[in-house]
Each structure stands twice: as structure tokens, then as C-alpha cells.
Structure 1
Amino acid sequence: MQPVARPLGLVLVPPAQLTASYSALSYIRGAVVSPVCISAAVFASCVGVGLAGVVGALGAFFVVAVLVAASTRYGFVRRHLDREAQTRLRCARESRRVRLLRPAGPVRIQQYLELRSLVEETERTDPPESARFELQELLEHFSMLANTHQRCLDALRLAGSHDLPASLPIDPKRSKRRREIQARRMRHREACLARIERLAEEIEAVDELIRLIAQRIACPTEDIDMDREVDRRLNELDELDDALLQLSA
């Protein structure tokens, strides 16, 4: 049997920035391999080939690389590289989740797409709260649970557990070894069914938790005390009326 999945646990600590520990060399490496730098280097190399042959192409490529590396000193360039790193990480995580969910079928994928839309909307509404509750990690957990759940279902189907009887009949014609193996299969089937039920509950729990967090963040928490505001304005009107009466007296 596969190891039992651990229960869901949340650590409400904001994750560190993706590029917080980046050094200057890391920024230079990211800038040099960026699509913008590669495109500019190819264009400059083509121009260099036309003007001075191979030497011109190498020189143009070197000049572009130096200029791009020098540009990483500026803050807006580093912010752009940070955004690119975040995008690459997000795409890699999304690809990994889809690979895990693909065997589970279209229904589970559709459920994941709904949860992902909620997470993206929540991140746009309140990024600090989204990071605090680690919604991306919850999506990771959902994908792993769905994949494990489907693997358990496949294990039952491949092993032909549906052909086993509900209880072990006493048949003296069967050998003792065969009865022992059949009893082991029945125990494994019961354990697998119990795990499938537990995984299904955990999947739905993660679904409801993500929806709860999205609902909580979407609902504004700041209430306006309209009674106090109305009373304040009425008092101002009374003061204004009193002042007008005093002036007219």
C-alpha cells in the first residue's frame, strides 16, 4: 500500500519573495538569457555579419551582452526580471498540477479550474491576505490529493477487487494457501476503500477551505457607522440654525 497522506496543515507565514536572495550575478544571468536579450543579440549579430563578417557578429553579440548585463543595476530592470521569475515559477507549478490532475478526469479538472479562478481573483483583490493563507499551496495540495485518489481507484480496478466476494466462503475444495491469499486481497480492498473515502473527504475539505477564504476576503470588513455620521451632520445643521437665529435677532 502507498503511505497515507498527512492531514492538511497551514502555516500562516507570508512566503519569501522569489528573488529576495538573488545576487547581482543572478540578475545578470537572468537578463542575458531573457528573450529580449536573445532577440537583440541575434539582430545585432546579423547586422555585424553584414558589416564585418564573423568578427563583427561576435563583437556585436558581446556588446549587447555587456549592455544588458550593465542594465541590471537599475531597479526597474530588476523588477522586470523578478516578474519574469515569478511568471516562470507560476507556469511551472501550473504545468505540474495539470499533469497530476489529468488522470483524474475532466470533472476533477473542472473543479480545479474553478478553484484556480477563485484564487486568482483573491490574489488580485488582496495579495497580502492571499499570501498569508497560502492559496497556491492549497491548490498544490488539492492536485496531489486528487492524483492519489485516482491512483487508489485505478489500483482497485487493475487488481479486479470487484470480483472478490463480500465475505470469505468456507470451501473445503480450495487450498489453504489460496484462501489465505484471497483473505489478504479482501483486507487490502477494504483498506483501499477506506483510504479512497478519506481522500475524497480531504479533497472536498480543501475545496471548501479555498472557497471560504475567497468569500472572507471578498467581503469587506470595514463597516461605516452611519448613525454617528448622520448625528454629526444633524448637529452641524443645528449649530448653523442657531448661528443664523443669533444673527437675525
Structure 2
Amino acid sequence: MNLLLLSNSTQHGRGYLDHALDTVTAFLPTGARLAFVPYALADHDTYTARVRDALEPTGIAVHGVHEHTDPVAALEAADAVFIGGGNSFRLLGALYRTGLREAVAGAVGAGLPYMGASAGTNMAAPTLRTTNDMPIVQPPSFETLGLVPFQINPHYLDPDPASTHKGETREERLTEFLEENDVPVLGLREGSWLRVEGGTAHVEGARPARLFTRDAAPRELAPGSDVSHLLTTEPRFDAPTR
């Protein structure tokens, strides 16, 4: 697998992908034809134009899969694929509807570079179960692409000790997930990402990640941390995913 999984595509005070642009351009093949999957947002044309504006000055040709009558054929013609952020439920429903869920998983397994941001990073995990998003649509299944065998929580937020809000913290929600499912969850804070190359995986970016496992305290993972052991995870979901 050749994966770049970003927590976020936009950092406060910066343009689209600016905070990770050097990493993104180093990851994508030189002069790549990039298949962009915009289905996590409703306005596919505007979303694709935003990605195009960010990446085409670097020599990357961005092609929205929705611009083609056959999205799977658009994927097959690409040198890499990027699935952008937005609503994870809407995105997954569209991947099923277009046939891209199976097509992307197969192509990436065969070596196609995969970049995800936010909802697109959620898609790399086995299931949708650790997304932060509201289920605005009902996909046929919670099964995502399964490019890695553990769960990811993009946009991970630490508890604010000064907050008077009484709702669940992100840590509490992930703890609840682990009460029902025995599979690690990697919390990616804003400005961080996961890089997977073959059998190795590393936390990268400007901030540490946070690793949650059942019956253990969460662990902080500094940028540069080797998390390759997560690639050999054998997840157990206590309820069927179909």
C-alpha cells in the first residue's frame, strides 16, 4: 500500500492543502493524472475546482471522477486517487452507488497511490464507525475500503478542561467504541497525517497523534513515530459490519 492519510485539508489561516503541500507533491507521482473523488460534498464542480487550483500549479492534473460518464474508468486512467473530506456517510453511499468502493480498494491494493483527507481518510479504515459526522444518508453498509486494518479518527480534539459543555468528549466517544469493538483507533489531530509505505506506517506532520486501544490508557505518538505494528492488527468488531 502507498497511502497518505491527512487529518484535514485546510488549516486555520492557510489555503487548501497549504499546510501539507510539500508532503502531497512529494507523495504524488511527478506530473500525475489525479482522480479526485468529490462525493463527500454536494457541489462536486466547485469542490474539484478548489483542488485543481491548489494542485495544478505544481504540475498535477486534477480530474474529478464525476466529470466522466464512468467514474470507474476515470479511476483506471489515473496515476493516483484523492478522496476529499466532507460528510463520510454521503461519501460512502456514493462510493457504493458508483462502484468505486470495490474499484478503489482493488486499484490501491495493486499499487495505485491513495491520498485521503478527513472523510477520505475515514474511508481507508475497515468501517465508518469512528467518523465524527452526522448520518445524513444511510449507506448500504458501514464497511469502507479497508486499506488499513485499524480505525482512524481525523480531526481528533483533546478535552478542554475549561469547557462547561457537558456533552461527550472525543475521548469518551472512542472509549465507547472500544467497549463494543476490539480494534485500535488512531486519533489524528489537525495538522497531522499517517504515511503508509508497503509494510511501514509513520505518524507525520506538525502535531502528535493519539492511539486508543481496548483496556489501555491512550498513548501519545510524536511526529515520526513508527506505528507499523498497527498494520498487522486483527480487528474484532462485536457486531457484524454487514
Q: Settle same-fold status: TM greater than 0.5.
A: no
Normalised to the residue count of structure 2, the TM-score between the two structures is 0.21
Q: Which of the pair has more CA radius of gyration? A: 1
Normalised to the residue count of structure 1, the TM-score between the two structures is 0.21
Higher normalized helix content (fraction of residues): 1
Higher normalized strand content (fraction of residues): 2
